[in-house]
Structure 1
Amino acid sequence: MHGNAVPDSYVYVTEEGVTRHYADGSVEALAWEDVVEVRITSGGGEGGGDAEVHYILLDREGQGCVVPRSATDASFLTRLRYLPDFDLDRLASAVAAPPQGHVVVWRSPDPPSPLPDLEYD
């Protein structure tokens, strides 16, 4: 009897953020309030087939959470719409014809300013 294969990761979307748990025990997590950029990326699929599309959410330090399209649902896409000035048409275009590499589909219109350099006496 063949059971369902265990996925290599699980993605949880909440009102607070996105978390991806990998099979090896590692975790990527990002709060929605810290997201300053959303990218769509894909690579060549095995045997030249369709490539897996990923959503990459980044914070201002470049840390983030990679979400495979296969792990997304309506709640993830609905939550993206709440990012300021998020353009669903731009997202749809990027997903429909993903490039080899990545394309930025959203950047925060007002990213957090960097911390000031403090001088100590």
Structure 2
Amino acid sequence: MHGNAVPDSYVYVTEEGVTRHYSDGSVEAMAWEDVVEVRVVTESASELLYILLDRDGEGCVVPRSATDATFLARLRYLPDFDLERLRAASEAIADRIVVVWRSPEPPAALQDLEYD
């Protein structure tokens, strides 16, 4: 008997933040107020990840397959978030990491990636 495969993770997006639950029981969570950087990672033509980082460099990884309009709409509330920059990064070639948004006061603990 064949059933539907169990997803490796699922993501909840609320007004308070983002939570990703993995099949092994581990959880990543990030409050929107703690997000200081948003990165887009293109691993292949079909695999794209959004990475939300806090001031300590801890993150919450959100696969594009787990996002919906709620997630993208909530990103727009980050100060001066540029949806066009996000779109361009999402269409980038594979194996790239692009910083699409950084808080006006980024912490020194984050790796300094140049904007494209």
Q: Alpha-carbon deviations, 1:52-102, whole Å to 9, x = none?
A: 100000001100100000000000000000000000000000001244131
User: What is the Cα deviation at residue 51 of structure 1?
Assistant: 4.2
Q: Is the 2:42–2:92 contact (alpha carbons within 8 Å) kept by the matching residues of 1?
A: no
SS in 1 for 2:39: strand
Count residues with an aligned counterpart. 109
SS in 1 for 2:104: coil
User: What is the Cα deviation at residue 4 of structure 1?
Assistant: 1.8
SS in 2 for 1:10: strand
SS in 2 for 1:40: strand
Q: Are residue 61 (structure 1) and residue 56 (structure 2) matched?
A: yes
- Structure 1: 5+ residue runs without aligned partners? 45-49, 115-121
SS in 2 for 1:97: coil
Instruction: Could you list the structure 1 runs, at least 4 aligned residues long, displaced by more than 6 angstroms after superposition.
Output: none
1:22-33 correspondence to structure 2 within 5 Å: 22-33=22-33
Question: For the aligned residues, what is the CA RMSD?
Answer: 1.8
Q: Is the 1:53–1:98 contact (alpha carbons within 8 Å) kept by the matching residues of 2?
A: no
Identity %: 74
Looking at structure 2, the residues matched to 86 and 57 of structure 1 have their Cα atoms a distance apart, in angstroms, of 13
Q: Which residue of structure 1 aligns with residue 11 of structure 2?
A: 11
> Aligned pair in 2 of structure 1 residues 16, 90: CA closer, same or farther (>3 Å)?
same
1:77-88 correspondence to structure 2 within 5 Å: 77-88=72-83
> Aligned pair in 2 of structure 1 residues 14, 98: CA closer, same or farther (>3 Å)?
farther
Q: TM-score, normalising length from structure 1?
A: 0.83
User: What is the Cα deviation at residue 5 of structure 1?
Assistant: 1.3
Q: Is the 2:40–2:89 contact (alpha carbons within 8 Å) kept by the matching residues of 1?
A: yes
